[in-house]
Amino acid sequence: MASDRIEGPKFRVAGHLKENSIKQQSVANLIGKSLGTTNRKIRGKSGFTVDEIQILHDNLEIPIEIFFN
């Protein structure tokens, strides 16, 4: 459902992962998506769901605001 997708600011998530040495594969494993799908989400080509954002915040301590403009 489109209403629960968050279209995040491009590259802020990628920058945060790099700065904190968090691997894309770790993100993919946590949200249950393929590496390709996760890469698109990280690069801002596709949105994270609210549930995915919460999972990443809870498990990797990624600030929720990083997903928003």
Segment 39-68, tens digit of pLDDT: 999 998 999 999 999 999 999 999 999 988
Count of structural domains within the chain:
1
State the CATH number of the domain containing residue 38.
Answer: 1.10.260
**pLDDT confidence of residue 4:** 63
> Is residue 16 packed enough to be buried (19+ CB in 10 Å), middle (13-18) or exposed (0-12)?
middle
Cβ atoms < 10 Å from Cβ of 1: 5
Map residue 38 onto helix, strand or coil: helix
> Is residue 27 packed enough to be buried (19+ CB in 10 Å), middle (13-18) or exposed (0-12)?
buried
Look at residue 68 and tell me if it is in a domain: no
β-sheet bridge partners, residue 5:
49
Give residue 34's pLDDT band: very low, low, confident or very high (50, 70, 90).
very high
Look at residue 37 and tell me if it is in a domain: yes
Look at residue 69 and tell me if it is in a domain: no
Look at residue 49 and tell me if it is in a domain: yes
Give pTM, 2 decimals. 0.82
Give residue 11's pLDDT band: very low, low, confident or very high (50, 70, 90).
confident
Look at residue 7 and tell me if it is in a domain: yes
**pLDDT confidence of residue 2:** 47
